[in-house]
Structure 1
């Protein structure tokens, strides 16, 4: 049977947490589990993740489980592999330290009529919560049935959220892969999708999110500086998306700061505000020095 939903889990040395992800999938409505594939892309784990997953594969599971192990390249490269391999109509990322809420698979599959009839709709944007049940961010307004991530951000609804994509659309938006860099912010992809599509907005909580002390967000400045070209790409594409001069100014300054960290000739700003961006170079140099001191 061809699955309707691909649940993608990228993992790296998370054998101690991915068990919860596995158990949360097993707890979903049995009527819908036969329509699910769980696609795990292991980004070169050195713990017992593979042994654990192989043990699950030997069981008679109510869903299909596919496991791919690759050389360590970062979560974004695992994502690229996953969108190549995904077979479901819908694609849902659940990190290996997160887990599904009860009934989330049913809610996603029941939303099919909201997202497949409109060519301009790329998927569902829903909510996450902490393990204690506290909502991450705020509930979405009822008058936002279709919206982009950027529009929600400007309305004060930024931050972590659950995103479900139509697989045929997300396959068109792989991450750039930069030699020597092992992280690329998801906004690089989401901003490009926003230029062409909207999401169906849902106040369902689909995912429970637990931040790890050694996770990607634990030391954000160091992470950004180690992956400067990826962040340069992000700030470059945000310049033309800015809705105010102040916002454009902020993105242009940080574009220069991260451009100065690694002297590459690719991924330079190619938008319609080149003179404005050039004028921001002096403050970009100061921003670059600030980041160097903070690190």
Structure 2
């Protein structure tokens, strides 16, 4: 690895917002930025993103910028490309409509010093906030122990988080690429990591998040229906991860619904709770019609 941290920014027609990521990098401690690479994967933009980044690369900066443009395939394919290309020991995603808080990099460097020799720790899970400073989700308990993201979610500490990964580990968990689908929920990968690793839990706010009107989550039901195999994979994994029967039943119903939306036997459920799936099929059928209606 040539750098300490790769800051990965996936982008698609975000020339009007990606400048905020750039500006937030310049507000960091410059003495640390020589150990940073900013890896931008452009997922087929047709705006002037490339020319903006080209101008930045011509400037004398304390960090390295690498720009990769690919045919539009969805954020998850940009993520796969970035993990392959990353030259940082750690990997931190900052979306093109988000930006770093002041001292974000300083806090990350300090926390990484505490986990370098902890092989069961995949990285850091920290907080995000809105532009007005309001937290997204709840802050963690003081002196919270190392934990998986899923366990934190079960305790009421879910929601969008800032995640820093060991690159050597995140490379082992690529997103599935489904023909005709342009979105895959990040939990498909993060849940797999949770089965084996924990995070250092931090109450530092590392990123500011501003949802866009044309963003991925602004039209969630059409997004889910159009990318139903990806959600089928997600619910299939969650059936086995569930810690209560009620939770497992909910995931089974949703799995059945998304399985009906698009047949794909490659990703059929193969776990030990097939009886639950069979019993919940009628409810899954009702959920299938609900999702179709919402679309």
Partner residue in 2 for 1:171: 171
Partner residue in 2 for 1:50: 50
Task: Give me the whole-angstrom Cα distance separating, in 2, the residues matched to 1:116 and 1:40.
Answer: 26
Partner residue in 1 for 2:231: 231
Residue 143 of structure 1 deviates from its aligned partner by 4.1
Q: Which digits, 9 at most, give the CA deviation of each residue in 1:195-244, with x for residues without a partner?
A: 00000000000000000000000010100000000000000000011111
Please state whether the residue corresponding to 1:176 is helix, strand or coil.
coil
Task: Give me the whole-angstrom Cα distance separating, in 1, the residues matched to 2:175 and 2:64.
Answer: 26
Structure 1 residue 16 and structure 2 residue 16: aligned? Answer: yes
Q: Out of 32-41 and 241-250, give the one that drifted further.
A: 241-250
Task: Give me the whole-angstrom Cα distance separating, in 2, the residues matched to 1:59 and 1:89.
Answer: 25
Please state whether the residue corresponding to 2:23 is helix, strand or coil.
helix
Partner residue in 2 for 1:199: 199
Residue 80 of structure 1 deviates from its aligned partner by 0.1
* Alignment root-mean-square deviation, CA: 0.9
Task: Give me the whole-angstrom Cα distance separating, in 1, the residues matched to 2:28 and 2:3.
Answer: 15
Residue 288 of structure 1 deviates from its aligned partner by 0.3
Task: Give me the whole-angstrom Cα distance separating, in 1, the residues matched to 2:52 and 2:168.
Answer: 31
Task: Give me the whole-angstrom Cα distance separating, in 2, the residues matched to 1:203 and 1:265.
Answer: 42
Task: Give me the whole-angstrom Cα distance separating, in 2, the residues matched to 1:244 and 1:35.
Answer: 44
Partner residue in 2 for 1:185: 185
Q: After superposition, where does 1:50-69 map in structure 2 within 5 Å?
A: 50-69=50-69
Structure 1 residue 72 and structure 2 residue 72: aligned? Answer: yes
Residue 145 of structure 1 deviates from its aligned partner by 2.3
Residue 265 of structure 1 deviates from its aligned partner by 1.4
Unaligned runs of 5+ in 1: none
Q: After superposition, where does 1:114-125 map in structure 2 within 5 Å?
A: 114-125=114-125
Unaligned runs of 5+ in 2: none
Partner residue in 2 for 1:266: 266
Please state whether the residue corresponding to 2:31 is helix, strand or coil.
helix
Please state whether the residue corresponding to 2:265 is helix, strand or coil.
coil
Task: Give me the whole-angstrom Cα distance separating, in 1, the residues matched to 2:143 and 2:22.
Answer: 35
Q: Which digits, 9 at most, give the CA deviation of each residue in 1:250-286, with x for residues without a partner?
A: 1001001000011121100011111121111111111
Q: Which digits, 9 at most, give the CA deviation of each residue in 1:129-188, with x for residues without a partner?
A: 111111111110124220100011001011011000011111111100000000000000
Partner residue in 1 for 2:289: 289
Task: Give me the whole-angstrom Cα distance separating, in 2, the residues matched to 1:291 and 1:142.
Answer: 40
Partner residue in 1 for 2:111: 111
Structure 1 residue 27 and structure 2 residue 44: aligned? Answer: no
TM-score, normalising length: structure 2? 0.99
TM-score, normalising length: structure 1? 0.99
Q: Out of 109-118 and 61-70, give the one that drifted further.
A: 109-118
